[in-house]
Every structure is written in C-alpha cells, then in structure tokens.
Amino acid sequence: MKIRKGDQVLIIKGKDRGKKGKVLRGFPKEMKVLVEGVNIKKKHRRPTRAGEKGQIVEVPAPIYVSNVKLICPKCGKPTRVGYKVTEKAKYRICKKCGEEI
C-alpha cells in the first residue's frame, strides 16, 4: 500500500472531505486505513456494571485508501506517491517535489 501508518493524509472523498489526519493503522488486505478523527462512528455501549449508564462512544472507522491523498512531509502538499527503485531498496517519492518520503 502506498499509505502507511504515521502518514499525514487529506481526505478527498466522502463526508469528511477536506479533513486532514494521521494514519493510525493500515489494513492492506482491505485496502483501508484508519485515520485519526475521520469517519467517526457512534457506538452505543451498554453498561457493564450495575448502576452504570450506557454510553455513546465515538470511534473512527477505516476508510478506503483511494479516498485519501498523502500529504508530503517535505513540501506539505497533497500528492500522489511514486516509487524510486534502486539496487538496494524501493523508496516512496512525492510526485510534486520529487523528494523521498
């Protein structure tokens, strides 16, 4: 996957379009990522102990990688990710500024 944990991303589709956040987790099999503060779902939690009230907790749900764009840490712009392959390794590069990311 082109997006990794710890990346800053911009949401380009859906109700959270325009929001920015940090990738908390990647799900390569589903091609989804969990982004901090994005795609918040409300979950109702039942009381676990007597006398406790049920609560509504807000948890982020994963979204498709195709709905986010990586924000380049070097130039700060939302960008597509390219790859540079050398004999030793494969690097991700920013398509805007060409820097390694």
Which residues would be at the binding site for Zn ion (CB under 5 A)?
72, 74-75, 94, 96-97
User: Please, which residue, 32 or 69, has the CB nearer to Zn ion?
Assistant: 69
Q: How far is the CB of 72 from Zn ion (least distance, A)?
A: 3
End-to-end CA distance of the chain: 14
User: Please, which residue, 14 or 98, has the CB nearer to Zn ion?
Assistant: 98
Distance CA 18, CA 20 (A): 7
Q: How far is the CB of 37 from Zn ion (least distance, A)?
A: 23
User: Please, which residue, 38 or 94, has the CB nearer to Zn ion?
Assistant: 94
Instruction: Sort 75 into a burial class: Cβ within 10 Å, 0-12 / 13-18 / 19+.
Output: middle
